[in-house]
Structure 1
Amino acid sequence: MPELERIPKVKREGSERFHSSGKDIGFDLLGFWRWSASDVVSNATRGRLAEYIIAKAIGAANDVRDEWAAYDLLDPRGISIEVKSAAYIQSWHQNRFSTISFNYPKTHAWDSGTNRQSGVKCRQAEVYVFSLLAHQVQATLDPLDVNQWEFYVVPTAVLDARTRSQHSITLKSLRALHGPPITYDGLRDAVATAAELHRAALSA
């Protein structure tokens, strides 16, 4: 069997039709998107939504999301970003709000172009954006409202230097480390500042 090269990503429109060997069978790609991703409160979809919101804020949403990239986003300025999300309110029945914490473990990077994994565990991105859907009223919860989110933008070097935990961080610890959250409008500048601090720490 010959080697199979990586399949290039194609940005689709949603109007593409499902078919049977070229014969239209009555539904389109947009219907699949609606079926599979309409529950934006669910954990899996909310994580991708957080990535998209941040990508729009920094101007990195023109391409197609890369499911297998070593990090979640690449800023047009060349800054690699990892996005983590959490929420108080989930899509399932709850007796209480979820306790907020974020995992940020070191990983082996995998290159989809070569199908090879790196030998060293590390944090792949220069900047982490911890994204909290902070709204606490279920009746008015709307993940599409960027004002219901809080963003904490942290240089990876700061996370690497933590002594309390190298795997996760509670919201209380994150706020102590970061200070007040960043709004959607402040994300672009905050990412640039965090990247500068990360690079300065590496060169010190």
Structure 2
Amino acid sequence: MSERLPPNTKIRGTGFNISDFWSWGFSDVLTNSLRGVFAEFLVGSTLDVLQQPRIEWDAYDLMYKDKKIEVKSAAYIQSWHEGQYSKISFGIEAKRAYNYATRSYTPEPVRNADLYVFCLLYEKDANLIDVLNTEQWHFYIVKTNVLNTLFPQQKRISLSTLEKITQPVSFTEIKETIDQAIYQ
């Protein structure tokens, strides 16, 4: 596993450091791929589990109190927004996990996490949207066994369906809600 790079790490042969690269390449946090990574960061930060660098293709996104957490994100407005809101849904498809030790995939697809955190950037005004403002996010926390019971074969879950099984919490309520889910 790699170690976290300090922001002032020099890029040899240039006058730049790694934070210059990060700023150049990753400032548009509203793009789908970066928004998802940012959502993982938000959840990981409130759980205090950001000690190791993120593993891109891991079977789950975060580990907290020996529980595997999958983080999904969605937003009404995308970086390329042209006036129409995106339909909100989240991927919940069972997948085969890659085992780095054996360099092979698990034989059967499953939902590999113990619980899911569905993160919705809900601001609908393109002039006001601010990915970095945690007050513009809602977080829906669902145990995987609930998804397996109610939606065993489903690949996606819509916001309206999600709201039938759980209520959104704010950023400041994530840790408490996850702790409650773990110990129920």
TM-score range, shorter chain: over 0.9
Identity of aligned residues (%): 34
Instruction: Tell me by how many angstroms 1:126 deviates.
Output: 0.2
Per-residue CA deviations over 1:98-119 (Å, capped at 9, x if unaligned) read 1101111001110223312111
CA distance in 1, matches of 2:57, 2:89: 24
2:52 is equivalent to residue 54 of structure 1: no
Per-residue CA deviations over 1:41-65 (Å, capped at 9, x if unaligned) read 0000000000000001111112211
Per-residue CA deviations over 1:21-55 (Å, capped at 9, x if unaligned) read xxx42111111111111001000000000000000
CA distance in 2, matches of 1:14, 1:54: 21
Per-residue CA deviations over 1:113-143 (Å, capped at 9, x if unaligned) read 3312111210000000000001111111111
CA distance in 1, matches of 2:163, 2:151: 16
Q: Could you say which residue in structure 2 is the equivalent of 1:98?
A: 86
Q: Which amino acid aligns with 2:4?
A: K
Q: Could you say which residue in structure 1 is the equivalent of 2:138?
A: 150
Say if 1:68 and 1:112, in contact at 8 Å, map to a contact too: no
Report the TM-score when normalising by structure 1.
0.85
Residue segments in structure 1 that go unaligned for 5+ positions in a row: 1-7, 198-204
The 5-angstrom pairing of residues 159-170 of structure 1 reads: 159-163=147-151, 166-170=154-158
Per-residue CA deviations over 1:135-185 (Å, capped at 9, x if unaligned) read 11111111111110000000000000124861111100100111x311111
Distance 1:163 1:140, change over 3 A: closer
Say if 2:71 and 2:119, in contact at 8 Å, map to a contact too: yes
2:29 is equivalent to residue 40 of structure 1: yes
Instruction: Tell me by how many angstroms 1:72 deviates.
Output: 0.3
Which residue, 175, 178, 184 being the options, matches 1:188? 175
Residue segments in structure 2 that go unaligned for 5+ positions in a row: none
Say if 2:7 and 2:17, in contact at 8 Å, map to a contact too: yes
- Cα RMSD between the aligned structures? 1.4
Per-residue CA deviations over 1:51-87 (Å, capped at 9, x if unaligned) read 0000011111122112132100001x11110000000
Say if 2:93 and 2:153, in contact at 8 Å, map to a contact too: no
Report the TM-score when normalising by structure 2.
0.94
CA distance in 1, matches of 2:131, 2:47: 18
Q: Could you say which residue in structure 2 is the equivalent of 1:13?
A: 6
Q: Which amino acid aligns with 1:191?
A: I
Q: Could you say which residue in structure 2 is the equivalent of 1:80?
A: 68
